[in-house]
Amino acid sequence: MTGLYRLIRLGLLTICLLPAPVLAASVLQHPTIEHHQLTLELRPDSHQLVATDRVTVAGGVPGQELAFSLAPTLLLERVEDLTHCQDPCEVVPSVPFARDRSSSQAESQRILLKQPPSTRAGGSVRLKFVYHGVIDDPPRDPRHLRFVTPSETAGHIGPEGVYLSSESQWYPDLDDSLATYDVRITLPEGWAAVTQGTAQVDSSRWIVSTKSEALTVVANRFVVKTRAWKAQSGQAVQLATYLFPDDAALAEEYLDASARYLDAYIPLLGAYPFSQFAVVENFFSSGLGMPSFTLLGSGVIKRHYTQPYALGHEIVHSWIGNGVFNRVSQGNWVEGLTTYLSNYYYHELTGDEAQAREQRRLMLLGYSMYVRPGEGYPLRSFAQKSDEKDNAIGYQKSAMVFHALRQEVGDAAFWRALKRIPERYLGTVADWSDLERTFQEEAGRDLRWFFAQWVERAGVPELALSGLRLQSASGASGHANLVEATVHIAQGDDPYRAPVELEFVLSGGRTQRVRVQVSAAQQDVVVPLAEPPAAVRLDPNYHLFRRVARSEMAPMLNLYVTDAPRTVVLAQPSSGPPGPIGDILQRIAAQEAAKADAVRTTVLQPGAGKQPLPPGSLLLLGDPRENPLAAEAWRSCGDHVRFLDSGFSVAGKTYEGAGMALLVSCRRSDQPGSVVTLLYGVTPQALGRMGRLLFFYGWQSYVVFQEGAVVARGDWEDRMSTEVRIETR
């Protein structure tokens, strides 16, 4: 995800009322900063920065009030007018500076100045800000069950590292500014800084010549490695890694992966927008994309974060999100398009169709799992991810909307339009309406209906197949050598317009796929076939983004996570020193502390007496044979799993040894939308390593672990592609 969020600048609403003739004459433009010339000294041991910022402001009119933001913990010493004065010429603020705030969690201090008259062509003025202070908000690890968010901080300067982002408000800024930067950074000996743009000589000065919505600076005791690299297109790009000494040996792996992704995406998106791309290690948990670098936590770096959904995703952000910007108030389209190109399309591009299909399937599952019917919101309303529902809408649905758009306009027009977006909007802002206009131009036809349906409407299609009927039909020569198959497709009272793939099952296991258009609530589709089919399946390759019923999903841990009610059943008492199962219970308790009692997870200890199975999904922790209630619940798994003296068998294969563990889910026969999930280890130690990462493994029916590493995984039945067999009369 991109780390440059222009979220909410509290207390910075500026309303400028000028006489009508002045407005008409000047065609008043909102004043913005065009350029920052920063000199910055960082003192990690005392959490301090000392800075001057010479800003160039354009737009507005003389006398107009400028509302600059600055972190509340920074002391503004003075502001000088550099437009009219060669000697120091201090500007008097409209109101006293807010110098009495000491908490980094307070709202921004406002610096209100009257705009001086300009003596320059183009109407720009220059101001010099001199300030110093403390930025000390130590990163806090969020207590999320699924570990989907980075550590939380508004900015930090300390002995463990420096992180200054737009949220830190470490330099004076005006809302909605897109600026270039010239930054000189002084650090203690042995430290190195990295920011956006191009490093000059010893990396103490950085030039950011491409306009950006914010500047992020990080610093630490890095081992720096660079590689002069040339893309297949001929473009020269400096690749670099800034890693901690313990991880410096991983530099070549990250440099190679960076080159691989840049070579993949430059042909699709045009020239890489910057002169450098760097992989930078962070002292707290993060996975952030900035213009010209990505900032990854140490734990991520150590896990070889080079996959398409990981490093590939951050590199695509170089064009989408950090090259072309979006205003979240107008809808965040950049995460969906980035997800489509990296998490999904890279597999298609490299010929891995099986993995591409799996990504489409997971996107449908993610939405259907976390966005319950009636609880969605329009894609245009997505701003940023704060929970799994936001992720399902803003990332997964959005990605599949771009897939639908590609199917609608065709590959040639889609890829032309995609390349046109950076060409047209690099260094500026684009919103959904700009994308709509660009794709319409390349497709040569009106696409208003498409964006109204997929971007401005909440929800997704819900389709159902029924009534496969056959009748003879005449062939082209007049002979009855064809069969017409009629299938009924139902949507609902507010149908979508979309292409749907149908797969007809023929003799000998052969299949024939056809694509049909649906647009009505109730629709009969007639398809000519060369022979009678035995059955028909709906959308077998998951090209249409649609809702999947919980009862149609393969049983998995995530069905437990998203069910209500949920119950944890302990096979053994939880007394004694906390082990892996105790740790899991503690995380569940922390996750659910803020929830209402009615939706919290219930924990059943063994020995509670005979009682019926509770409703909803069940999570069994430990050997189910040791608890009568767990044993009764375990019957839902039938013959899927067998327990042995020193192991177990699953999916017809035996696994033995003290280090073996199993996560397995089975459908509750009495409640098809709920599951029974078991976490079992041959020994308690077998659960130690994987227990803390349990909720990463939520998408398969079974996952087998050996010493904490995954050695097998798979699904039981998967009913997502509804099959309808021929009607018999």
- Do the beta carbons of residue 281 and residue 222 sit within 8 Å? yes
Q: Could you please report the per-residue DSSP string of 523-554? A: EEEEEEESS--SEEEE-TT--S-----GGGSP
Of the CA atoms within 13 Å of residue 199, those in its CB half-sphere come to 22
Report which DSSP code applies to 60: S
Report which DSSP code applies to 409: H
The DSSP bridge partners found for residue 466 are: 488
- For residue 40 the two structure tokens come to 């910055």
- Nearest-angstrom CA–CA distance, 523 and 405: 23
- Nearest-angstrom CA–CA distance, 37 and 29: 23
- Nearest-angstrom CA–CA distance, 10 and 106: 9
Strands (E), 552-612: 566-570, 602-604
What does each C-alpha distance from 100 to 49, 70, 74, 104, 105 come to in angstroms? 18, 13, 10, 12, 13
Report which DSSP code applies to 571: S
- Nearest-angstrom CA–CA distance, 601 and 590: 11
| 317 in a known ligand binding site | yes
Q: How many CB atoms lie within 10 A of CB 142?
A: 12
Instruction: Find the distance separating the first CA and the last CA of the chain, reported in whole Å.
Output: 55
Q: Of 312, 281, 311, whose CA–CA distance to 298 is shortest?
A: 281
- For residue 332 the two structure tokens come to 């965040």
**Any residues with CB less than 8 A from the CB of 254 and at least 6 apart, and which?**
241, 243, 279, 306, 311
Report which DSSP code applies to 44: G
Helix (H, G, I), strand (E, B) or coil at 27: coil
- The residue with tokens 């995406």 is 265
Which helix (H) or strand (E) segment holds residue 504: the answer is strand 498-505
What is the amino acid identity at position 376? G
Strands (E), 23-124: 32-43, 48-58, 65-70, 74-81, 109-114
- Nearest-angstrom CA–CA distance, 202 and 535: 68
- Do the beta carbons of residue 344 and residue 525 sit within 8 Å? no
Let me know how long the chain is. 729
**Any residues with CB less than 8 A from the CB of 628 and at least 6 apart, and which?**
610
| 313 in a known ligand binding site | yes
Q: Could you please report the per-residue DSSP string of 234-261? A: S-EEEEEEEE-GGGGGGHHHHHHHHHHH
- Do the beta carbons of residue 409 and residue 598 sit within 8 Å? no
**Any residues with CB less than 8 A from the CB of 246 and at least 6 apart, and which?**
none
What is the amino acid identity at position 146? R
Which helix (H) or strand (E) segment holds residue 589: the answer is helix 580-592
- The residue with tokens 């349990």 is 694
- Do the beta carbons of residue 289 and residue 321 sit within 8 Å? yes
Of the CA atoms within 13 Å of residue 483, those in its CB half-sphere come to 15
Of the CA atoms within 13 Å of residue 563, those in its CB half-sphere come to 30
**Any residues with CB less than 8 A from the CB of 344 and at least 6 apart, and which?**
356, 359, 360, 363, 399, 403
The DSSP bridge partners found for residue 396 are: none
Residue numbers belonging to the annotated binding site for Zn(2+): 313, 317, 335
Annotated binding site: 313, 317, 335
